[in-house]
Each structure stands twice: as C-alpha cells, then as structure tokens.
Structure 1
Amino acid sequence: MSGQNQQVPYYFVPNPSRHPLTASLGLLVMMGSLAAWLNGASWAPLTFAAGLLFLFWVLYHWFGDAIFESEVGQYGKRVDKSYRWSMSWFIFSEVMFFLAFFGALFYARHFATDTFANLENKLLWPDFAAVWPNNGPADLVAQFRSMTPWPLPTINTALLLTSGVTLTVSHHALRDNHRRKAIIWLAATVLLGLIFLFCQGYEYFHAYHELNLRLTSGAYGSTFFLLTGFHGFHVTLGALMLFVVMIRLIRGHFTADHHFAFEGAAWYWHFVDVVWLGLYVVVYWL
C-alpha cells in the first residue's frame, strides 16, 4: 500500500461494479454444468471448464481493481480494519468447514462402528468387529489397506511446518524493510507448498494402485479423501495467494507498515498448517 501517505477519505466507498454479477454468472455456469456432469452429460466438462476460466478472469480483474484502489491511496485505516475482520471471519468459516468433516470421522469411528457391532445387530452381522478402518457391516466394500503416517504424510508435515517458518521469516524481513530477503523467503514458502502438493498427488497414486484405497472405500475412504483432498485444495489456494503477494512484493507494492495482503495470506497459510497437524494426527496416526 504505497499510497497510504496520501490524503484518504473517512471511509472509501467503491463505485458500482459489474464484478459481483459476472462472478455470479460464472458460478451459475459452473454449478449447472457440474449437476449435468454428475448426470452423465457429455458436454458438461467443457462448460464447467469454461465457467471456471470465466470466474478466474473475473476474479483477476476484481482483485486488480482492489489493488489499484489501494495503491492510489484510497484505503485508510478503517478499510484496513474491515479487511482484517473480513479475513478473520472467512478463516472462522473455514474452521467450521473442516470441523464438520472431523466430526463425521469422529462419528463414524466412535458411534456408527460401535453401533453396528453391538448385541442388537449381531444377528444381522455376526462377523462384524468394531475396529477401524473396516469394510462396513455387510462387507460390501472391496478390501483395502489404510494409509500409514510414514513416509509421505510425515514428509508433508515437515514441509508445511518448514513453510510456516520461512513465511514468518519473510514477514519479519518485510517489517524490517528488507524487501529482497522477504521475496526470497516468500518464494521458498511457495516452493515448499508446491512440493507438498506433488507429494500428496503421489500419495493418492499410491493409495489407488497399491492399497486399493478409494473414495468408495466405505467411511474410511470417503473421510480420508474428503479431508486430505479439501486440505490440498486449500494449500493450492494458499500457494496462489502467496504467489500473487510475491509478485506484488517484487513490484514494490508494500511498505513495512502497510501490507495487509501479505498478512491476510499469511494468516490463511498458518491456518492451513494447523489443520494439517490435526489431520495428520487424527487420520494417519489414530
């Protein structure tokens, strides 16, 4: 926010924008195409991709407008505060999102499994044992092996923890006005995130082809892939956010005192780290 030293309004009110409408149209095309895709429509993947690309195009221009408004000095302390509250509530909504999946895993392990194995259900499923993971009481799920914490999940944990350290070093460098150091350490953070995603992709390949573990592998398979898959999606978003921040750093957009875009992306990345630690313990170890 290099324009912060200029005169700013009491509270900046943006001009009417087309972006909310165009973003809604892109989402409408995506969701409609997704529904058709799930019902076997051959044209749906193409329209879904078109809607996704259109949405990215809209977001590119939308965020570009926000960056321009910041750089010309239209954002004051009140706008900065509103951004901080908005990012805080957004991360809170993400916490609730992941808690829902952790709750589903907890219910499947400690309630549903025990219920299927109690005395009332012994006549229906006499061979079912209350162990986790399992193939279900009717044994309808193909045999699979569960994922172990070594080596890839542990390596990924080390990668994300290290990325949190490099991001913190970059932030402190920016606050000390060492721009070049901040760029280098931020680039290292993005690189560690990309390596994490590569390792997770290899882990999925291993799960499908060597463990026969799939999304259809009962409650274990569905919760495993939903938790790790959505986390990987959030890592992708976080890495993209940090990459954009890095480009802005290179262009000289931030100062030591005004760099909320960096801070907001850093909050999000640390949130992703914390979620992974919980996921690593609950999914891979317990």
Structure 2
Amino acid sequence: LFTSFSLMNLATSMALTSHGYMGNNYMMMMCAMTMLYSMSLWFKDMMAESTYLGDHTLAVKKGLMQGFLLFVVSEMLMFVSLFWAYLHSALNPSVELGMQWPPAGMEAMSAAELPLLNTMMLLASGVTITFAHHALINGNRKNTLYGFLYSTLLMVMFVGCQGLEYKFAPFTISDSVYGSTFFSATGLHGLHMIMLAVMLALC
C-alpha cells in the first residue's frame, strides 16, 4: 500500500512539475526517496524469505518465475511498440515531416560521438554482469562482487552520458515524432538502467 501511494504520488508530482504547476522538485524527490525506501524493504524481505526463513517452496518459486516471465514479455512488447512507432515514421515519412527522415529542418545526432560511447559502456556492462553471473554460479563471491561493482559503475556512467546526450541534443521531445520517439525510447531505457543500478547496489 505504501509503495502504491509512493508510485502514484511520484507520477502525479512528475506530471505537475513538468507542466509548471509546482515551482520546485521537492515533492518529486521526496516521493522518489519513499519509493526507493519501500523497494529496499521489499528486497530485504524477499532475501530473508528466500534464504533462512525457507518460505520459497517449489510452488512459490514457480509463481515467481511465471510472474517474472510475464514482466519480461510486457517489457519487450513496450519496447517493440516504441520501435514500431519509430520505424513506421522513418520508413514512411508523412507530408507533415517533409517526406524525409529525419524531418525537414531537424538536425540528427551523430551516431559516432556520444551515442557510440554509450553503446560501448552498455556492451561492457553486459560483459561484466555475465562475468558476475558465472562467478556466482561457480561460488566465487569475490569475482561476483567485482562484476556487480563494475556493472553498477558502467550503468551510472551510461546514465550520466545519457543526460549529457539529452542536454546537447539539437532537438527536444516536442520536435515532431522524431524527438518524441527518440526521447521516449531512450528515456525508458535509461530508466531501466537506473533501476537496475539501484538493484545491483542493493545486492
């Protein structure tokens, strides 16, 4: 219940702040902190239940696996819809876009600069988390912690570079479908990286 109210208040405060109804970000930050606090309590309880309390029976594990699988499928479909919107507009640009992609009068971001660095960091974090996973399977706690640490650092650096990319982008989210699909897809991905970095830091 506490987490639900935190999420609802976070979404409401973000909407009010973005539309200029709130003059500061204090409410949004407070809601984000309460959500992170409730997440940490939830993770602590899950770890306790799954280890020394022994509450995770085979039926519970099966239910958790099915729930996680449905979550992954819903995430995949969300990203598919964003890519669909981008490709639909890119492969068949309308008259309003000037019959070209990127739209007429819009400067595209060079893929060989900051986006390339972000891609390298993302791939490197995939390598380090895979290293941590294999170390965990083999019971090597030290290498698991190193893998988690390097992955978390790479994700934080990725999010920082994503912020720089947004700051210096020659277009905004309101600049036609090009800006809205770019910022929606990359923003959602950046949000996932932030949540994953928080989860790894809590582990």
Superimposed CA distance per residue, residues 140-164 of structure 1 (whole angstroms, 9 cap, x where no aligned partner): xxx4410121022122222211221
Give, in whole Å, the separation in 2 of the partners of 1:154 and 1:98. 20
Give, in whole Å, the separation in 2 of the partners of 1:31 and 1:169. 36
**Residues 56 and 110 of structure 1, relative CA distance in 2, 3 Å threshold:** same
Aligned partners of 2:40 and 2:202 also within 8 Å: no
Which residue pairs with 1:74 in the alignment?
Answer: 55
Give, in whole Å, the separation in 2 of the partners of 1:40 and 1:201. 21
> So what's the TM-score if we normalise by structure 1?
0.64
Q: How many pairs align? A: 202
Which residue pairs with 1:244 in the alignment?
Answer: 202
Aligned partners of 1:30 and 1:48 also within 8 Å: yes
Pair 1:92-2:66 in alignment: no
Which blocks of at least 5 consecutive residues in structure 1 are unaligned? 1-20, 118-127, 136-142, 246-286
Give, in whole Å, the separation in 2 of the partners of 1:62 and 1:205. 34
Give, in whole Å, the separation in 2 of the partners of 1:164 and 1:32. 34
Superimposed CA distance per residue, residues 28-65 of structure 1 (whole angstroms, 9 cap, x where no aligned partner): 33344344445532367433333332222222222222
Larger gyration radius, structure 1 or structure 2 = 1
Pair 1:132-2:106 in alignment: no
Pair 1:217-2:175 in alignment: yes
Which residue pairs with 1:64 in the alignment?
Answer: 44
Superimposed CA distance per residue, residues 173-216 of structure 1 (whole angstroms, 9 cap, x where no aligned partner): 11111111111122111112122122222222221xxxx31112
Which residue pairs with 1:173 in the alignment?
Answer: 135
Give the superposition deviation at 1:26. Answer: 2.0
**Percent identity (aligned):** 31
**Residues 181 and 231 of structure 1, relative CA distance in 2, 3 Å threshold:** same
Give the superposition deviation at 1:129. Answer: 4.3
Aligned partners of 1:34 and 1:44 also within 8 Å: no
Give, in whole Å, the separation in 2 of the partners of 1:36 and 1:229. 19
Structure with the higher helix share, 1 or 2? 2
Aligned partners of 1:33 and 1:44 also within 8 Å: no
**Residues 88 and 148 of structure 1, relative CA distance in 2, 3 Å threshold:** same
Which residue pairs with 1:154 in the alignment?
Answer: 116
Which residue pairs with 1:188 in the alignment?
Answer: 150
Could you tell me which amino acid in structure 1 is paired with residue 184 of structure 2? Answer: L
